[in-house]
Amino acid sequence: MSDQPSEQPPYSPDARHVEDIPSVEVISRAAVMLLSAGAERLGLADADPETSPHRDLDEARRLITALAGLVTASAEYLGLHAGPLRDGLQSLQKAFREASAVPDAPGQGPGEKYTGPVY
């Protein structure tokens, strides 16, 4: 047995390189990550969102705003993916409004400067 560690390849031969992934897939993956993280920060993954240890409305606001900017800016490229991503975004915006002790005025909630008011 050799004392030297075996050399590992810098990447898996099965892994896709970023340059090989279509832009719509990169954008969609980023949007899904923002959606998931926003839901976690709203506590939606727990049975009782109000007592979730992951709940952080300030962080949720940032994630929702970033998602709104991404979805709005890239909607023309997303094709079939745009509708479901917009629906998910709007669901997070509504959940944020419901979770807030003092809800933002219409048009002032997270991401609403990009999407318009969400009621």
What pLDDT score does 18 carry? Answer: 81
- Structural contact between residues 45 and 99, judged by C-beta atoms closer than 8 angstroms: no
What pLDDT score does 9 carry? Answer: 55
Predicted TM-score (pTM) of the model is 0.84
- CA dist 34 and 102 (Å) reads 24
pLDDT in tens, 62-118: 999 999 999 999 999 999 999 999 999 999 999 999 999 998 999 999 999 999 999
What HEC string does 43-104 produce? CCCCCCHHHCCCCCHHHHHHHHHHHHHHHHHHHHHHHHHHHHHHHHHHHHHHHHHHHCCCCC
pLDDT in tens, 17-38: 888 899 999 999 999 999 999 9
